[in-house]
Amino acid sequence: MTLLEIPAYIAIGALAGVLAGLLGVGGGAVIVPALIVVFAEAQLSGDWIPHLAVGTSLTTIIGTGAASTLAHQRRGSVRWDIVLKMAPGIVAGAWLGAAIVSYIPDLWLKRLFAVFLGTLGIKMLLSGQPAGARGAALPGSMKLTATGGGIGLLSALVGIGGGTMTVPFLSSHGIDMRQAVGTSAACGLPIAVAGAIGFAIAGWGQLDLPPLSSGFIYWPAVVIILIASIPAAPLGARLAHSLPITILKRTFGVLLILVAAHLGLS
């Protein structure tokens, strides 16, 4: 491990933790592109860097998401009835995404993530719906499960906890914004667990992976990121209950667009 990696992982973890608590995202939108850059600079794995970044990101989201969920649960902002309906689809979708990811070339995966981030960034930047605004009625159990499947699939492919899709989905269906954030954090846990296991299996035995890896999971990065992200997540949750969410969503949207542009041009 180089001297560059340790402070980089700490910074990545702290930012991801705050965002996890603040916006209900797992932090993958920050972790994945940052790890791609750090792994490339450290020359960890030439052909598998995007896959390694995604698998590592999903593993860190388990710890960060758990800390964020606990912080939101203490404030009564997790809708467990919604989580339980979406969870079966989320797990199935995440497993499918992890199963097919090793067949996707690294350049395609990077471009897919760039398009995904850019689209979500524009959506968040233009979103002006206030917390608790009226929207369409929340779908029934089957549709919630199917929606969870789509979120789980795409989340596993690009290494995120799904919050950038779950939060807009819930808020557009009349769920209070703070409940949407807390519920999204809880929904990210099954995505992360299923996805991480799948990426470990998908990368098992692949050549050109760094030491201390389990498939597409690089454990030194996981440990250091979690050391920084777990204590930062409750801070983000406190901020979510005191700062204007609309402004924060738009700021995060700008960040997503900038990251997407960097990945798309790299």
Give pLDDT tens digits for 13-24.
Answer: 999 888 888 777
Reduced 3-state DSSP string for 204-226: CCCCCCCCCEECCEEHHHHHHHH
Question: How far apart (Å, rounded) are the C-alpha atoms in residues 255 and 257?
Answer: 5
Predicted confidence (pLDDT) at residue 117 exceeds the cutoff of 60: yes
Question: pLDDT class for 248, splitting at 50, 70, 90?
Answer: low
**Number of independent structural domains in the chain:** 1
pTM: 0.79
Most confident of 66-70, 100-104, 249-253: 66-70
Q: Is residue 54 predicted with pLDDT exceeding 50?
A: yes
Q: What is the pLDDT of residues 159-214, one digit of tens each?
A: 777 877 888 789 888 888 889 889 998 998 998 898 899 899 988 988 889 999 99
Distance CA 150, CA 142 (A): 13
Q: Is 174 helix (H, G, I), strand (E, B) or coil?
A: coil
Q: DSSP state, 132? A: T
Domain interval for residue 21: 5-265
